[in-house]
Amino acid sequence: MSGFSVTEPSKRQKWIAGLLVITYALVTIMPLLWIIATGFKSPEDAISYPPKVVFQPSLEGYVNLFTTRTRITTSMQGTLPPPETWYEQIARDSGTIISGPSRYGQRFMNSIVIGFGSTFLAIFFGTLAAYAFSRFKVPIKDDLLFFILSTRMMPPIAVAIPIFLMFRQLGLNDTQLGMILLYTAVNLSLSVWLLKGFIDEIPLEYEEAALIDGYTRFQAFYKVVLPQAATGIASTAIFCLIFAWNEYAFAVLLTSGSAQTAPPFIPTIIGVGGQDWPAVAAGATLFLIPVMIFTILLRKHLLRGITFGAVRK
Amino acid sequence: MSGNSIDRIAQATPPTIAKRVRGLSDRAIAWLFVGPSIVLLLAVNIFPLIWTINLSFTNFKANRNRDVDYIGLRNYERILTDADTWQSMQATAHFLFWTIFFQVLIGFALAYLINKKFKGNDLWTTIIVLPMMLSPAVVGNFWTFLYQPQIGLFNYVVEFFSGVDASSFSMIGSVTLAPWSIVIVDTWMWTPFVMLICLAGLRSIPDSLYEAAECDRASKWRQFWTLTVPMVLPFLMLAVLFRGIENFKMFDLVVQLTGGGPGSVTTLTSIDLKREAFEKWRTGYASAYAVILFVTVFGLASIYVKALNKVKER
């Protein structure tokens, strides 16, 4: 914009605004950078006073995250054959030997399976329902849509009591299938509302043209509407995935062993005498980085996703 | 021409699906499409809700195999006369009020500044938004490390700027500070949410309105209060609604941060409910508790939405 404009802020205003926002951004990002940095600290550096900003990077946190170890005495150290791999070397340096893998990998896998499984189902059923709500006269449509949204208002713990009893009856407690079904139901409200918004924006004329060309409704849906809605479906899917990925309340109450996801597991990583902070931070880093990347990819649709489509830019 | 196009479509159509679906009316397709979602939600949300209401009139304990007696409204009576319930309600109210207060204040200010469209504002907005997308449980757990009296970054920063000895206070160990420790982390996490919604509101105001105000020689201060604020208000109220419902349900972040302690000063209703249901196993009692919470959140939200619609209509 050039010349005089009453709505364009002055250079000085921009400068001050930028300075304040950047200061806030740097402060707000600190805890996240601290998580990443702590993952690369040795246990001594992690708990030093004052907190260390410059430190010798170490992979001990990551080794501790993925393994279980046993402490050995210095005299025993001498009797052992030299370590074969770099991670054995790291464990040996801190006076331990690796006795096996930890459960982190398996918990992470559970998060992936449950996250992707529930996202797929929520998107599949959500797209169908959203299309119907967008294009057809469904009786009591507004009531149904509100009912779908209201399922999100219940506190998860309140819902968890009967779900726990129901799953116990059906043998679904602590199973991946149970968690996938549960997260699908929770995510449906989000996917129906968001996708309805996206499909509403596709002009009706495209389908009408297809119908006149002799397509059936069903063909018009999957050959015309679906490709048009692809971006909307993709961003909705990422929102569903992030929800399932981050969910804690249901996971901690309904899973304990084989189907446990990463969020309830990471805080339970302990070392000698309390939490092993570098290992916790390493686990958190690996768990949070994918979401950060998705957030950056999604930034254009972020507002829509977090408000259930109530605010569109 | 028309025969030609029908042929073309007939060839392009997979015969099985066409045969099955061609005969379906729009109405049938509508129900076919909506049906599975409704069934799933009925099974996972409504059926359990009805079960909860039913259980709330009993003395059922999920860890025992004994006869279940219907005891009428006695659970409700007990909950509403229990001092602990009211304390957790109070803790929740404190948490709700202050988180919303700070998030609205900081969120709006940030949106206002970002709307000055300085160079690179997109990049910094994305950075500010990051915390709210992350797992509250995992991040909450890490904040206990930042809050450690001796070695925590938070305490160190406080000492650096205020001179208060870093080891002299414990954010999550102190009865007076713990309620604020959860307010701080929630504000850190969710301010960007309010900010994004306010930003959408600010961007929805057409430039022409400001130009008109300028022609009328309205001062910047007056423009802000008579134009900017009323136009953003519906957006801001929507943000408050979302944050209100979310923080009324708050569980994961706080349970990882303070576990409801010390004592019970940060025991929000969800945490109290979890203890009754899954630690004391008073299933009937907890069900009544859940019903009360649900009615509260639903009732407050409905009243609020009515007010929101009034503001929108103006």
Could you say which of A59, A81, A102 is where a domain stops? A102
User: Is A162 within 8 Å of chain B by CB?
Assistant: yes
pLDDT at position B4: 57
The residues, any chain, with a CB within 8 Å of residue A166's CB and separated by 6 or more, are A172, B47, B48, B51
- B213: nearest Cα among A2, B205, A10: B205
A270 band by pLDDT with thresholds 50, 70 and 90: confident
pLDDT at A5: 63
Query: B266 and B178 in contact (C-beta within 8 Å)?
Result: yes
Of A50, A188, A262, the CB nearest to B41: A188
Token pair of B267, please?
């025991």
Render pLDDT for A57-66 as a digit per residue (tens, 0 to 9).
Answer: 888 889 889 9
Q: How distant is the alpha carbon of residue A308 from its chain centre?
A: 17
Which residue in A has a C-alpha nearest to residue B119's C-alpha? A18
Q: Which residues of B touch A150 (CB under 8 A)?
A: 298
Which chain A residues are closer than 8 Å to B143 by Cβ? 31
CA-closest candidate to residue B41, choices A144, A88, A174: A144
Domain assignment present for A4: no
Same domain membership, residue A185 and residue A231 = yes
**Backbone conformation region of residue B68, classed left if phi is above 0, alpha if psi is from -120 to 50, else beta:** beta
Pairing of strands A274-275, A96-101: unpaired
Helix (H, G, I), strand (E, B) or coil at A5: coil
Q: Which residues neighbour B85 within 8 Å (Cβ) at sequence distance 6 or greater?
A: B79, B269, B272, B289
A273 & A200 share domain: yes
Assigned token pair, B269:
């209703």
Name the DSSP letter for residue A49.
S
Report the alpha-carbon distance of residue B219 to residue B205 in Å, rounded. 18
Q: What is the C-alpha radius of gyration for chain A, rounded to an integer number of angstroms?
A: 26
| Rounded mean pLDDT, A181-192 | 92
Q: How many domains does chain A have?
A: 2
CB atoms < 10 A from the CB of B95, how many?
A: 22
> Best of B135, B291, B304 to disrupt the A interface by mutation (most A CBs within 10 Å)?
B135
Residues A225, A98 share a domain: no
Whose CA is closest to B276, among B120, B100, B85? B85
SS3 B151: coil
Gap from A160 CA to chain B (nearest CA, Å): 9
Quick one: pLDDT at residue A3? Answer: 46
Instruction: Centre a 10 Å sphere on the Cβ of residue B230 and count the other Cβ atoms it contains.
Output: 12
Q: Which residues of A touch B242 (CB under 8 A)?
A: 306-307
Q: What angle do CA B99, B104, B105 make, to 5 degrees?
A: 100
Helix/strand/coil for A67:
strand
Same-domain check for residues A211 and A88: no
Query: Is residue A140 domain-shared with residue A276, that is, in the same domain?
Result: yes
* CA dist list (Å): A310 to A198, B56, B89, B118: 12, 35, 29, 27
Residues of B in contact with A313 (CB under 8 A): 200, 203
Angle (nearest 5°) at CA B273 between B141 and B68: 140
Average pLDDT over all residues of chain A? 87
Residue B63: what are its φ and ψ, rounded to 5°? -100, 5
Cβ burial A271-293 (10 Å sphere, 16+ → b, else e): eeeebbbbbbbbbbbbbbeebbe
- Please report whether residue A35 resides in a domain: no
A240 to chain B: closest CA residue: B133
Cβ-based contacts of B105 with chain A (< 8 Å): none
Contacts with A245 from chain B: Cβ below 8 Å: 135
Q: Which domain holds residue A241?
A: 105-306
The whole-angstrom separation of Cα A249 and Cα A285 is 21
* pLDDT at residue B6 in the model: 56
Shared domain for A77 and A212, answered yes or no, is no
Q: Is A222 on the interface with B (CB under 8 A)?
A: no
Nearest CA in chain B to A299: B126
CATH of the domain at A129: 1.10.3720.10
- A117 lies in the same domain as A221: yes
What does chain A come to in residues? 313
Q: What is the pLDDT of residues B176-205, one digit of tens each?
A: 999 999 999 999 999 999 999 999 999 888
- Position A249 scores a pLDDT of 92
Element (H, E) at A97: strand A96-101
Both A192 and A231 in one domain: the answer is: yes
Domain ranges within chain B, ordered by starting residue? 2-54, 82-313
Contact B150, B156 (CB under 8 A): no
Q: What's this model's pTM, rounded to 2 decimal places? A: 0.88
Answer yes or no: are the C-beta atoms of A65 and A104 closer than 8 Å.
Answer: yes
pLDDT in tens, B6-36: 555 555 555 444 444 455 777 888 888 989 9
The span from the CA of A260 to the CA of A111, in Å, is 8
Two structure tokens written together for A181: 């079904």
Query: A18: pLDDT confidence band, cut at 50, 70 and 90?
Result: very high
ipTM here: 0.88
- Pick from A4, A11, A311 the residue to mutate for testing the B interface (most B CBs within 10 Å): A311
| Residue A292 within a domain | yes
- Looking at the DSSP bridge assignments, the partners of residue A68 are A100
Does residue A3 lie within any of the structural domains? no
What tokens does A178 get? 């149970």
CATH number of B82-313: 1.10.3720.10
Whether A178 maps to a domain, the answer reads yes
> Does an H or E element contain A101, and which?
strand A96-101
Judgement on whether residues A197 and A273 belong to the same structural domain of the protein = yes
Which string of DSSP letters, residue by residue, matches B152-178? Answer: -HHHHHHHHHH---GGG--TTTSTTTH
Pairs of CB atoms within 8 A across A/B: 304
Least CB–CB distance from B9: residue in A17, A126, A213 = A213
Over residues A270-298, the mean pLDDT reads: 87
Bridge partners (DSSP) listed for residue A101: A67
Read out DSSP for B53-89?
A: HHHTTB---TT------B-TTHHHHHHHH-HHHHHHH
Segments of chain B with pLDDT less than 50: 1-3, 15-21
pLDDT band at residue A306, thresholds of 50, 70 and 90?
confident
* pLDDT of res. B13: 54
Convert the pLDDT of each residue in A119-137 to its tens digit: 999 999 999 999 999 888 8
Separation in Å, CA of B175 to nearest CA in chain A = 22
On whether residue A6 sits in a domain, the answer given is: no
